[in-house]
Structure 1
Amino acid sequence: MKKAILIIIAWVASTIEVLAQCAMCKTTIVNNVSHGELSLAEGLNFGIMYLFVTPYLAILVIGLLWYKKSRNHANKNIKSSAIRM
């Protein structure tokens, strides 16, 4: 387990910086920012953050619901076993 974690950390640390925008998007943003128009850049940044955060929120909600359901199920099992004794 420790070896796998070390490999993942080494892999993430060794990656070079990658620009994930297409050439047209980058050119448009740079051109607008150089002319003082920041609204397009702010909108693009908001969209990127929205797409980045949404899957993590979905996973969090599913995890919380799963935890509550399993906890309620465990409490019911404890109560039913206590009644049998």
Structure 2
Amino acid sequence: MFRKSLVVVFVLGSLNSFGQCAMCRAVVEQGGEEVAEGINSGIVYLMAFPYLLISVALFLFYRSWKKSSIR
């Protein structure tokens, strides 16, 4: 039951994201190389930031766990 509801949430949540692809593509086609580089940089930034946050959180958790296990 949980898996089915999780799949429904992800499918319904992704329906809004389909509209952005055509808009980004149109901007890149009209804007030239400089605009394309800017959009690519933005995509990399948006992709890397969650991984950075998770890495910092895991590091802080590990450091806290290590301190508590020494005592």
* TM-score scaled by length of structure 2: 0.65
Instruction: Note the alpha carbon deviations across 1:59-80, whole angstroms, 9 max, x for none.
Output: 000000000110011001xxxx
Code of the aligned partner of 2:29: V
5+ residue gaps, structure 2? 1-17
Which protein is bigger by CA-based radius of gyration?
1
5+ residue gaps, structure 1? 1-18, 77-85
**Structure 1 counterpart of 2:9:** none
**1 CA distance for matches of 2:23 and 2:57?**
37
Q: Which structure ranks higher in relative contact order (CA pairs < 8 Å, sequence separation ≥ 6)?
A: 2
Structural RMSD (CA): 1.8
- CA 1:20/1:74 → structure 2, altered by over 3 Å: closer, same or farther? farther
% identical aligned pairs: 37
**2 CA distance for matches of 1:67 and 1:24?**
42
* TM-score scaled by length of structure 1: 0.55
Q: Which structure dedicates a bigger proportion of its chain to helix?
A: 2
Count of residue correspondences: 54
Provide runs of 4+ in structure 1 moved above 4 Å: none
Code of the aligned partner of 2:30: N
- CA 1:75/1:20 → structure 2, altered by over 3 Å: closer, same or farther? farther
